[in-house]
Structure 1
Amino acid sequence: MKKTVAVIGIGRFGLNLIESFSKNNVDVLALDYDEQRLKKAVPFTESLIVCDSTDEDALKEAGIKDVDRVIIAFGQSEKENIATTIVTTIKLKQLGIENITVRVDDESFENTIKLIGAKDIIYPLKIASDKIANRISSDSVIDYYNLTDEFDAYEIQLTKNFKKLPIIDLNTRTNYFINILIVERNNKFYLPNKDTILLSEDKLIIFGRKKDINKIIRFFENYV
Structure 2
Amino acid sequence: MGKQYAVIGLGRFGSSIAKELVNLGNEVLGIDIDEEAVDELSDDLTHAVVADATDEEVLKSLGLRNFDCAIVAIGDDIQSSIMVALVLKDMGVKTVVAKALSELHGKVLDKIGVDRVVYPERDMGVRVAHQLVSPNLLDYIEISKEYTIAELSVPQALSGKSLKELDPRAKYGCSIVAIHKQDGVIIAPASTDVIHEKDVMVIIGTNAQIEEFESEVIR
Q: In which range does the TM-score fall when normalised by the shorter chain?
A: over 0.9
> How has the CA–CA distance of structure 1 residues 180 and 40 changed in structure 2, closer, same or farther, with 3 Å as cutoff?
farther
Alignment correspondent of 2:202: 205
User: TM (normalized to structure 1)?
Assistant: 0.91
8 Å CA contact retained: 2:4, 2:27: yes
Supply the distance in 2 between the matched residues of 1:85 and 1:41 (Cα, whole angstroms). 21
C-alpha distance after superposition, 1:146-184 (max 9, x if no partner): 222221111111123434211012222222221212111
1:48-67 alignment to 2 at 5 Å? Answer: 48-67=48-67
How large is the RMSD of aligned CA atoms in angstroms?
Answer: 1.6
Pairs aligned (count): 218
8 Å CA contact retained: 1:11, 1:37: yes
Segment of structure 1 superposing worse, 108-117 or 131-140: 108-117
C-alpha distance after superposition, 1:86-108 (max 9, x if no partner): 11112112212241111101111
Supply the distance in 1 between the matched residues of 2:156 and 2:24 (Cα, whole angstroms). 33
Segments of 5+ residues of structure 2 without an aligned counterpart are: none
Alignment correspondent of 1:89: 85
> How has the CA–CA distance of structure 1 residues 44 and 154 changed in structure 2, closer, same or farther, with 3 Å as cutoff?
farther
Alignment correspondent of 2:211: 214
1:66-215 alignment to 2 at 5 Å? Answer: 66-76=66-76, 81-191=77-187, 192-215=189-212
Q: Give the secondary structure class of the aligned counterpart of 1:90.
A: helix
Q: Give the secondary structure class of the aligned counterpart of 1:198.
A: coil
Alignment correspondent of 2:28: 28
Supply the distance in 2 between the matched residues of 1:217 and 1:117 (Cα, whole angstroms). 37
- Taking only the aligned residue pairs, the percentage that are identical comes to 24
8 Å CA contact retained: 1:51, 1:62: no
Segments of 5+ residues of structure 1 without an aligned counterpart are: none
Q: Give the secondary structure class of the aligned counterpart of 2:74.
A: coil
